Amino acid sequence: MNKNLVDIDWNDIDKYSQEQITYFLYLEGKSIEALIKIRKLDKATIKKHILDGKIKYGILAKSSNIEELFKQIANSGKQDKIEVINGLESRIKKDLIFFIKNNYGDMYPKDKQAAVWILGELKDEDGIDVLLKASVHKFINIRRMAVSALGKIGSIKGETVLIRALEDENSQVVTYAIKALNKIKSTKAKEKIIDIRNRTNKDYILKAIDEYLQLIDDSI
């Protein structure tokens, strides 16, 4: 049984928690009074199961396709976004990345920001190509988010993009690039980062540089 993007397989019921079973029955149209009898649970417990389900699956249940899911995530609060993404099945995560890769070029800046943020939270190398484009966008916020997303993914495949971002005119983008290079333990960036240290007086950049150099020096 499918409720939009929520795929329910009652033939494999053992894989579901008690909360999921209650919520999925609720999605199928069972009333709270019916659920009390079917599940043999009190009203407060049934309501809690439904609330927990709405938090975890609500956006999926409202989305009939991946484009709608993207829009629902993009328009949700940060914590709701995180909870939804963390609860996605692998198949839907792949479909979401595929949608972003195919549509990023035609998106408005606001949707591009959402797409870049989502790719960072999904932490999948398949999204790096999009982040490469986003890292040179004319809007600072998109460049910053792209560099941050590459740090979350933590793949050496993003190293070249991050090293290039060290030359960005915006100091926040540079700082995020240093932090991301720290996460992937890039030694290729060391010379450029030392050069930045010699040219900047911004405390937050210097702090990121010190953390990077300490990690790199300790690993040698």
pLDDT of residue 83: 80
Tell me the pLDDT tens digit for each residue of 200-210.
Answer: 999 999 999 99
Contacts of 7 (CB under 8 A, 6+ apart): 89
The sign of the CA dihedral 73, 76, 128, 154 is negative
The tally of CA atoms less than 13 A away on the side-chain side of residue 201 is 0
Is the CATH code 1.25.10.10 the one for domain 63-219? Answer: yes
Whether the predicted model's global pTM rises above the 0.85 cut: no
User: Domain residue spans in the chain?
Assistant: 1-62, 63-219
Tell me the pLDDT tens digit for each residue of 163-207.
Answer: 999 999 999 999 999 999 999 999 999 999 999 999 999 999 999
Tell me the pLDDT tens digit for each residue of 20-48.
Answer: 899 999 988 999 999 999 999 999 999 99
pLDDT-derived band at 71 (thresholds 50, 70, 90) equals: very high
